């Protein structure tokens, strides 16, 4: 017979607790860190600092990491449930914490836990969103009083996608991607996202990019107009990412997945960021669910998602 919780000693009850219960008890403040997809990505040219001048529509989706915090102890300690990311100072989330600790000369320590759900090296800003959540979390927990503008500036120093991850929602990114214009009043998307079982290096994709290999550039003005009219058919037609010209040449499987998503009912499909993740936009949830179930057999990292609505979670 199974023991009732009340029959157990404290120690036994603790052993019986699930890992997530333990995590929830130990890390008493949690923030959600959503992934982003690029609905358009245009490159306007190369900058003297080696980066590329972008014009890109970014959009948060319901694929989220959860970042747990606990004040106390000494220095910064980072843990994660993922074997795919470093749990030390190489992690962008650790760098984000160190930035604030040094800037504010914080004496009390912090423990950070990354519950990793966003695939790594996928073009989904997984590392950047964790770093953004750490900036937000430490700002709140230590009452640092940083305002959004200051956080965005600090985030931009950590990585091109960090400012968008701080701002959230849907936004047009210019410059390295850090000059942001929020785009309000869009539709709620139903998405199937596929992460094939290989990773792509963002810097290698950018360095192999050639303007003259792009067949068609995005029209961001037309995209924004379709977006704000909630015209999902036009939005789908305007999906365009110039980095596909590099990543698809290296990995033709990306094109196969796009085709497969469309055959299974997506209005259109696109690679996100520098890839290799591909997402399809659907009008009906049930069709999307069937497509998800089908593709998942071939690609285990397939997700049924939608537009993320900003929120945070306390456990």
Active-site option among 23, 130, 161, 258 = 161
Residue 178: CB atoms within 10 Å: 22
Question: What tokens appear for 177 in the block?
Answer: 């991607």
Tokens 């785009």 sit on residue: 183
| Cis amide bond preceding 229, omega within 30 | no
Question: Largest Cα–Cα distance in the chain?
Answer: 72
> Is the CB of 268 or the CB of 272 nearer to ligand C5P?
272
> Is the CB of 122 or the CB of 264 nearer to ligand C5P?
122
Q: Is position 36 annotated as part of the catalytic site?
A: yes
CB of 92 to ligand C5P, least distance (A): 8
CB of 306 to ligand C5P, least distance (A): 25
CB of 84 to ligand C5P, least distance (A): 17
CB of 218 to ligand C5P, least distance (A): 15
Q: Is position 212 annotated as part of the catalytic site?
A: no
Whether 217 contacts 42, CB under 8 Å: yes
Which helix (H) or strand (E) segment holds residue 133: the answer is: helix 126-141
Helix (H, G, I), strand (E, B) or coil at 226: helix
CA of 125: how far to CAs of 29, 36, 63, 209, 274, in Å? 22, 6, 11, 20, 10
Query: What whole-number distance in Å separates Cα of residue 74 and Cα of residue 109?
Result: 4
Beta strands (DSSP E) in 157-218 are 170-175, 179-182, 190-194
Query: What whole-number distance in Å separates Cα of residue 157 and Cα of residue 104?
Result: 17
Question: What tokens appear for 84 in the block?
Answer: 């795919």
> Is the CB of 126 or the CB of 159 nearer to ligand C5P?
159
> Is the CB of 52 or the CB of 59 nearer to ligand C5P?
52
Active-site option among 23, 36, 116, 258 = 36
CB of 116 to ligand C5P, least distance (A): 18
What are 57's strand-pairing partners?
A: 40, 172
> Is the CB of 135 or the CB of 232 nearer to ligand C5P?
135
Question: What tokens appear for 133 in the block?
Answer: 């959540």
> Is the CB of 65 or the CB of 69 nearer to ligand C5P?
65
Residues of the shown chain interacting with ligand C5P in the complex, contacts defined by CB under 6 A: 51-52, 54, 159-161, 176-177, 202-203, 206
Gyration radius (Cα) of the chain, Å: 21
CB of 149 to ligand C5P, least distance (A): 19
Query: What whole-number distance in Å separates Cα of residue 69 and Cα of residue 67?
Result: 7
Q: Which residues are catalytic?
A: 36, 161
């Amino acid at each position: 017979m199974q023991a009732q919780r009340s029959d157990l000693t404290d120690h036994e009850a603790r052993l019986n607790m699930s890992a997530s219960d333990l995590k929830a008890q130990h890390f008493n403040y949690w923030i959600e860190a959503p992934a982003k997809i690029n609905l358009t990505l245009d490159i306007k040219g190369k900058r003297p600092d080696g980066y590329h001048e972008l014009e890109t529509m970014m959009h948060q989706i319901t694929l989220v990491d959860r970042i747990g915090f606990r004040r106390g102890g000494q220095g910064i300690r980072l843990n994660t449930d993922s074997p795919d990311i470093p749990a030390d100072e190489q992690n962008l989330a650790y760098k984000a914490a160190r930035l604030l600790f040094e800037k504010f000369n914080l004496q009390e320590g912090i423990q950070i836990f990354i519950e990793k759900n966003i695939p790594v090296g996928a073009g989904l800003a997984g590392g950047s969103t964790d770093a953004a959540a750490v900036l937000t979390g430490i700002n709140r927990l230590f009452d640092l009083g940083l305002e959004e503008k200051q956080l965005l500036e600090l985030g931009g120093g950590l990585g091109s996608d960090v400012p968008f991850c701080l701002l959230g929602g849907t936004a047009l990114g210019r410059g390295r991607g850090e000059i942001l214009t929020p785009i309000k009043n869009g539709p709620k998307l139903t998405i199937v996202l596929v992460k094939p079982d290989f990773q792509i290096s963002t810097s290698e994709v950018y360095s192999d990019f050639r303007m003259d290999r792009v067949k068609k550039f995005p029209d961001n003005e037309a995209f924004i107009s379709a977006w704000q009219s909630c015209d999902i058919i036009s939005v789908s037609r305007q999906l365009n990412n110039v980095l596909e010209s590099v990543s698809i040449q290296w990995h033709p499987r990306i094109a196969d997945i796009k085709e497969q998503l469309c055959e299974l009912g997506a209005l259109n499909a696109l690679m996100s960021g520098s890839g290799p993740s591909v997402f399809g936009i659907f009008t009906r949830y049930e069709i999307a669910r069937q497509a998800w179930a089908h593709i998942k057999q071939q690609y285990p990292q397939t997700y049924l998602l939608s537009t993320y609505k900003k929120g945070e979670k306390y456990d």
